[in-house]
Amino acid sequence: MARTVNPREHAARRQAIVEVAKACFARKGFHQASTAEICAAAGISPGALFHYFPSKKAIIAAIVEQEGAETAAYFDAAEDGDDLYAEVMGFLDLALELAADGDFASLTLEIAAEAARDPDIGRLAARNDADLRARLEGLLDGAARRGQIDPGLPASEAASCLTMLVDGAFSRVATDPDFRPAEQKGAALLLARRFLRPTHRE
């Protein structure tokens, strides 16, 4: 009996597995979470999982690739904005919201740890990281060219500073149980605003 594969159904199933795996990895870590648990949570058999992902590492790679695609889509939309200063601030606001999301922050740390251990995951994570930085730099450069922020601020250095701030939020969440990124968001956004010196508001 031939098995017919509906591509849309296959993609939807694959995505459902990714979502379930993200939650499992965030809560238990990549190495502590077993594929059996992922299968149970996704309601499929271990044999069926193999049709979607040949290994746990393939699931991890899919998660990292998907993050990259989501970042690209985010910046595609942001670049269409009229006020690129507002788009930069919107990005920072979202990044600090994500740092405050326990599951997202845990998953980010798991990816960083796995990137240090596994060169393939490392390359994927490094590409995401470089892409994000480049896209943020592009927004800052556009904002400066349009006279929306201080044109004297080199976009590359400004992008580095703002990503340092975001990285710092994720890093503090991991090491300091009393740190609440949501409570620091106002001050962090003020810091960014004063740094960028938007020309049309103050």
**Shorter beta-carbon distance to its own copies: residue 83 or 129:** 129
**Shorter beta-carbon distance to its own copies: residue 82 or 176:** 176
How far is 186 from 62, CA to CA, in rounded Å? Answer: 34
Contact 25/60 with Cβ under 8 angstroms? yes
Q: List interacting residues with its own copies (CB under 8 A).
A: 112, 115-116, 125-126, 129, 153-154, 157-158, 160-161, 163-172, 174-176, 179, 184, 186-188, 190-191, 194-195, 197
Q: How far is the CB of 177 from its own copies (least distance, A)?
A: 8
**Shorter beta-carbon distance to its own copies: residue 43 or 186:** 186
How far is 65 from 127, CA to CA, in rounded Å? Answer: 9
- 52 HSE (CA, 13 A, CB side): 29
Q: How far is the CB of 111 from its own copies (least distance, A)?
A: 10
Closest to 71 in 3D by CA, of 138, 148, 25, 8: 138
What is the 8-class DSSP label of residue 200? S
**Alpha carbon distance, N-terminus to C-terminus of the chain:** 69
Q: How far is the CB of 116 from its own copies (least distance, A)?
A: 8
**Shorter beta-carbon distance to its own copies: residue 20 or 99:** 99
Q: How far is the CB of 40 from its own copies (least distance, A)?
A: 28
